[in-house]
A = this chain, B = another copy of it.
Amino acid sequence: MYRHGLTPDPKPTVNDIARVAGVSLATVDRVLNARPGVRSVTIERVNKAVAELGFVRDAAAASLARRRFLNLLFILPKTSNEFVKALEHQVAEQGIKLLHDRVTLDQHLVPPFDPAAIVKALDDLQAGLVDGVAVFGPDTDAVKEAVHRTRARGIPVVALVADLSDSACDFFVGINNVTAGRTAAELMAGFIGRRGRVLVITGSRLARDHLERRKGFEALMTECHPDIQVVASPEGRDDPDLICKMLPELFEQYPDIRGIYSSAAGNLGLIEHLSTSTPCPKPIVIAHELTPSSREALTSGIFDAIISQDAGHLVRSAVRLLKATSDQSPIDQTQEQIRIDIYLKENMPSL
């Protein structure tokens, strides 16, 4: 009754194809994997049989017979940033599970904001030892050229979290940060009643993702909320101490701040400041990335919302894309789309 209605009882195998097409197993394989050295008439015949029988390649058998591992490498910035830590954790964790699927995950931590280190890491790769790379690094020409060389050597590359311009990579896995900034702005506008002054805490001008968020935030306010004034802090450089210190001055200068948007990675400094001296009335605070400390700030009411991207999803997606590239298998765009998550106190996931 509930037989899988999609294949005529015993699922056809390569043997069936071979028999029906009147060729050998080896030839069927050559056609299925688009290997060279088959006459086009033969190709036709095989394809016809494939279509006729409704053949679907068995992934398990294929993977087993291929008798080799897919070795993937993640190049991440070496920083104490909680979000990056979460990525590292995911790579390590998922690496263990993926062993079952003949995939290995390694990570290489390079100094942050150091294009040369990434270039070296990429150029040092041995094709054959590494079958794919995911890079989270600055969008500089040197990096893009190194990515280019890597791809030229047949190693697929995905840009992780921060895109590399001019589609230097095979794929980008991450969110659109302009959109993320706009999302923060939309939420902020709603929460402060569409009027008043908001402060944007900025990071470093070297981090493209942070710049984009700020740009998106300001753009949306300009477009849709003329009664909201945005002031930007000096560069916080993602340094908690620096940020904590610069805040009192800013509040003095702008006593009417109704909202704060922490666009970069300096949440700790902001939390530090707000948990000691709370301006009154308490401003609406929106920050990025759900991490242990931002989670706590949300719970305690210091933060009102978090804009986030799921580290687990980022890693899984990068792996799937690299694997699909290697297997020449199709990609499910909708599954690979990384969402811009909004978390309030109530919908924050447990754990």
Q: Which A residues form the contact surface with B (CB < 8 A)?
A: 1-7, 11, 56-61, 63-64, 69, 71, 73, 95-97, 99-102, 104-106, 108, 124-126, 129-130, 179-180, 182-183, 185-187, 190-191, 193, 220, 284, 304, 307, 312, 316, 332-335, 337, 339-347, 349-351
Contacts and interface: CB of A to CB of B under 8 A. Distances in A.
A182 B11 CA distance: 48
A334 B104 CA distance: 21
A273 to B, nearest CB: 22
A1 B124 contact: yes
A332 B220 contact: no
Residue of A95, A284, A334 with most partner-chain B CB within 10 A: A334
A9 to B, nearest CB: 11
A58 B100 contact: yes
A100 B5 CA distance: 15
Contacts of A345: 186
B337 A4 contact: no
Contact of A101 (B59, B71, B185): B59
B2 A332 contact: no
Nearest to A181: B346
A56 B99 contact: yes
Nearest to A180: B347
Contacts of A347: 179-180, 183, 307, 339-340, 342
B71 A186 contact: no
A17 to B, nearest CB: 16
A332 B60 contact: no
A99 B7 contact: yes
Given A58-B102, A61-B64, A186-B344, 6 more contacts: A2-B129, A59-B100, A60-B63, A190-B284, A316-B335, A334-B351
